[in-house]
Structure 1
Amino acid sequence: MNRIFPILTVVFAILAIWYAGSFLMNRAWVMDQAARAGTEPSVSEVFRDTMNQPRAKLPAPHQVAAELYDGIFDKKITSKRSLVYHGFITLEATFYGFVLGIVVGVALAVLIVLSRAADLTLMPWAIISQTIPVVALAPMIVVLTNAMGAGSLMVPKAIIAGYLSFFPVLVSMVKGLRSPDQMQLDLLRTYGASQSQTFWKLRLPASLPYFFASLKIAVAASLVGAIVGELPTGAIAGLGARMLIGSQFGEPMIMWASLFAAAILAALLIWVVGGVEKVAARLMGVRPA
């Protein structure tokens, strides 16, 4: 109960602020409609109308929850209006980008740790790459992949997702591979261990806690990349495309429901990564804290 109470307090505070914001932002339309009709609505009538506008500036929480429930449970999975259908489209790009980010991040981290030259040349460029806004980079990736003959929309989305997810893996793996102290390294040298044996027996096992911690960040970043990648590619399926359709056609309910569906998907992915981390720790003989 001591852990749940603070969480519930924050949730209720967010809902209260959200409802207040919905009332204030949607009130102008209600008052305008009443003025045109020549009526003077009561406070309760104004509140009721602001909470049930079909195209509200800021939909109320219960409206978003109803649209989210409808998109997840009331629509067939094969329906183009199903958030589950669009979620699977985005999940596929997220998975490919996540794998790409892991491979690139781990490979660069190994090079940087084992090679002084790579450390001086690759790490600064990796840091600089994260200063480029992904919304500006995404159209360029789409154009380049199309010019190279990549007919599938999955390729640019996966590249954008991998671009966002590789950096946390890279930084954490570099930190993890360098985490063994000098005494441990000297001990292995005393036993005549080669650089390769030092890497596999000491550096890599020591880096695993850092690696799994970075995966939770990377999988969320990969999801963001997949959603952003759907915007300039002209995609008609996926949570990002669904948000764009809601914005273009003035359907805020669709946009908000898709946003919360993406948040739920991110939470599930982080939960899966956490489960894999526990299994890996158990296989390595790590005792739970």
Structure 2
Amino acid sequence: MRSILPVLTVVAALLALWYAAVVPMNIKAALTDAERAGMTVQPEGAAARRDLSAIQLVLDNPSVISATFQQARPRLPAPHQVVVELWNTTAGQKVTSKRSLIYHGWVTLSATLLGFAIGTIAGGLLAVGIVHNRAMDMSVMPWAIASQTIPILAIAPMIIVVLNSIGVQGLLPKAIISAYLSFFPVVVGMVKGLRSPEAGQLDLLKTYHASAGQSLWKLRLPASLPYLFASLKVAIAAALVGAIIGELPTGAVSGLGARLLAGSYYGQTVQIWAALFGAAIAAAGLVGLVGWIERLVLTRMGMAK
């Protein structure tokens, strides 16, 4: 209970701040609706309210506050509106329906997992090469760092266009963008982990005439696992972001990115926020899955209790 109480306190504080922000964000729309319904508002007319602050409008019209939480197209949806939308698009729809957030989530998740696998394998191989080859350490590592300075929103359309020009469409372009974001944490973590054994441990293996491959398999790889799993948690969340970004420039009709696009096109802010929370829940689940695998592996190897 003591461990849960701080979390609940933070969540409650965030919800309170969210509800407090909803009122000034939606007050002008609520006043317009009230005026159309024949209610008296201060001041009258949208033109008269245009230059007034939202806080002043709230103070002048306290009776309209409740309406700010029920707007059909709010600037900022209330938490309960997002929860209702999440429920309606998950439990309220068939999984195969294109209105189901689970369906769209699976489309994005497929690209995420493929990109994560590609990024993890590429990052691991690069890390091994960097640790064992001085030339790769001096050449590849700076380029890997420099690659992360390029905004993904700028490079994603280029990747999509180039791959489309050679006939590669569908899942793979999104997976490549996911791999682009996920390989770097793996490279950094694995390099740090592979170099973590002490000099005395490496010297001991040399006295037994262990080859570089044996040193890698018997010492460096086991020592790198805690670093690797820490990197994988970051990488899998980054892969999900990459998959969503990969859906944006293509005008996709399925996936969480498509839900975000559709919501922005039609002004459905509740749909946008529901898709964002769906992505956050998926990311939390993926990170939790990696953490569960980490505990199993490290416990079996005697590196954790």
TM-score range, shorter chain: over 0.9
The answer for the alignment partner of 1:243 in structure 2 is 260
The answer for the alignment partner of 2:51 in structure 1 is none
Deviation at residue 148 of structure 1 after TM alignment: 1.7
Match of 2:201 among 162, 184, 197: 184
Which runs of 5 or more residues in structure 1 are unaligned? Answer: none
Matched, 1:153 2:154: no
Deviations 1:163-220 (A, max 9, x none): 0000000000000000001111111111211212111111111001111111111110
The answer for the alignment partner of 1:30 in structure 2 is 30
Distance 2:113 2:29 in 1: 43
Distance 2:39 2:222 in 1: 74
The answer for the alignment partner of 1:11 in structure 2 is 11
User: What are the equivalent positions in structure 2 for 1:113-124 lying under 5 Å apart?
Assistant: 113-124=131-142
Deviation at residue 38 of structure 1 after TM alignment: 5.8
Distance 1:287 1:90 in 2: 33
Aligned length: 287
Deviation at residue 4 of structure 1 after TM alignment: 1.2
C-alpha contact 2:295 2:304 (8 A) present in aligned 1: no
Letter in 2 for 1:19: Y
Q: Secondary structure at the match of 1:74?
A: coil
Distance 2:210 2:7 in 1: 50
The answer for the alignment partner of 1:271 in structure 2 is 288
The answer for the alignment partner of 1:39 in structure 2 is 40
The answer for the alignment partner of 2:159 in structure 1 is 141
Matched, 1:210 2:211: no
The answer for the alignment partner of 2:89 in structure 1 is 71
C-alpha contact 1:153 1:233 (8 A) present in aligned 2: no
Match of 1:93 among 111, 116, 129: 111
TM-score (norm 2): 0.91
Distance 2:230 2:221 in 1: 15
Letter in 2 for 1:199: L
Match of 2:144 among 126, 139, 143: 126
User: What are the equivalent positions in structure 2 for 1:220-235 lying under 5 Å apart?
Assistant: 220-235=237-252
Distance 2:141 2:304 in 1: 34
TM-score (norm 1): 0.96
Distance 2:26 2:150 in 1: 36
Deviation at residue 39 of structure 1 after TM alignment: 1.2
Deviations 1:12-58 (A, max 9, x none): 11111111111011011222344564613885531211000000000
Distance 1:70 1:277 in 2: 34
Distance 2:93 2:294 in 1: 34
Moved more, 233-242 or 274-283: 274-283
CA RMSD, Structure 1 to Structure 2 (Å):
1.4
Deviation at residue 282 of structure 1 after TM alignment: 3.0
The answer for the alignment partner of 1:283 in structure 2 is 300
Which runs of 5 or more residues in structure 2 are unaligned? Answer: 43-59
C-alpha contact 1:153 1:235 (8 A) present in aligned 2: no
